[in-house]
Amino acid sequence: MSPRIKTIRKVLNPPVIKGFKPYGPETGKLDTEPVNLLYEEYEALRLSDYDMLNHHQSSILMEVSRPTFTRIYASALQKIAKAFVEGRQIAINGGKVYFDSDWYNCKGCNCNFNNPERDEEVLKCPLCGDERIKSFDPDQMSNLERPSGTDDLCICMNCGSTQLHKTGVPCNQHVCLECGSRMKRKGTPGAKIKRN
Amino acid sequence: MKIAIASNGNTLESTLDKSFGRCSYFIIYDKESKAVEYIPNPNKDMEENAGPASVELVASKSVSKIISYEFGMKIKPLLDSLKIQMIVLKDSGKQIREIIEMLNH
């Protein structure tokens, strides 16, 4: 059996730099083999320590499970610590990621399209060539089921109502205000409402 | 530049299919040579993962754009990493002939 395939992690933007170099009189004498920080590890660090989101919120943004996110984050810290202590360079590249693309809407033919070539600016509609295009918010699109926003919510498995998650209280100790049943964290794989 | 269109038939009079992964035919239109190629979709009756399998099929034809009525939720990560552009046309009555005419703007 081949191993289970990794889910592709979503990275919002590529980092502005390719890596880091140490400086100081000792740097020339050290082993210069760089530490390879993956894009997904960079993104994990950015979400949890720069944007100050918790692991659950970050995992939704990266479209991986919360435990997977924590593993990616732990590996990022380990690599950075290694680079700091051993005076190595950090190279940021690789990893199983995709860079998110933005959506646009064309007024001429009323189609929606995205732009996977991030470096090129979109000037006209790829379908009809109309130049009346504007950015488009995909959360309004019904066909792409994605968690909208990163509000830390608990969801009721019975009736589907949500309430804000209280930090420090496990989700299954939250009780639904509507029907009184136990709740689960919204966005986790087990928390899909059963539909008949 | 090649463009794939998810269609529900193998003529120019066919219309856009409601689904990308389980559409009946993929129509590959070559913008330079104006050639049209019809590929029956082998993933039409798949229980699951029809979308990723169709992406693989279409990507092997080295298209740069895909036009469909709708894309499933597994498809965007794949197409973004392959740098294929998605065009969502919410007009299921559009004939393939009309779409090709629009592409030749």
The pLDDT of residue A148 is: 47
The pLDDT of residue A191 is: 62
The pLDDT of residue A149 is: 54
Range of the domain at B41: 2-103
Q: What is the dihedral of CA A175, A180, A186, A192, to 10 degrees?
A: 150
Q: How near does any CA of chain A get to the CA of B65, in Å?
A: 9
Structural domains in chain A plus CATH codes: 9-98 (no CATH), 101-140 (2.20.28), 153-185 (no CATH)
- In this structure, the number of other CB atoms found within 10 A of the CB of residue A67 comes to 10
Instruction: Answer whether A143 sits within 8 Å of B78, measured CB to CB.
Output: no
Please give the helix or strand (H or E) that residue A167 lies within, else none. none
Q: What percent of chain A has pLDDT over 90?
A: 24
Chain mean pLDDT for chain A:
81
The pLDDT of residue A150 is: 59
Q: Is A181 on the interface with B (CB under 8 A)?
A: no
| CATH number reported for the structural domain that contains residue B23 in this entry | 3.30.420.130
The pLDDT of residue B88 is: 87
Q: How far is CA A167 from CA A154, A185, A195, B41, in A?
A: 11, 12, 29, 49
Tally of structural domains, chain B: 1
Instruction: Answer whether B77 sits within 8 Å of A63, measured CB to CB.
Output: yes
Q: Find the CB nearest B86 among A63, A113, A129.
A: A113
pLDDT band at A84 (very low <50, low <70, confident <90, very high): very high
Q: Is A122 on the interface with B (CB under 8 A)?
A: no
The pLDDT of residue A81 is: 95
The pLDDT of residue A49 is: 93
Q: How near does any CA of chain B get to the CA of A159, in Å?
A: 24
Chain mean pLDDT for chain B:
86
Bigger pLDDT: A31 or B43?
B43
> Is it the case that residue A90 has pLDDT exceeding 90?
yes
Instruction: Answer whether A111 sits within 8 Å of B87, measured CB to CB.
Output: yes
Q: Is A144 on the interface with B (CB under 8 A)?
A: yes
Closest to A89 (Cα-Cα) out of A79, A77, A97: A79
Which residues lie closer than 8 Å to B69 by C-beta, 6 or more apart? Answer: B6, B16, B17, B18, B19, B20, B88, B89, B90, B91, B92
CB B68, CB B96: distance < 8 Å? no
Coil, strand or helix at B78: helix
Q: Dump the DSSP string for B22-59.
A: T-SEEEEEETTT--EEEEE-TTTT-SS-HHHHHHHHHH
| Structure confidence by residue, pLDDT tens digits, B35-75 | 888 888 888 888 888 888 888 888 888 888 898 888 887 88
Across A23-41, average pLDDT: 84
The pLDDT of residue A196 is: 41
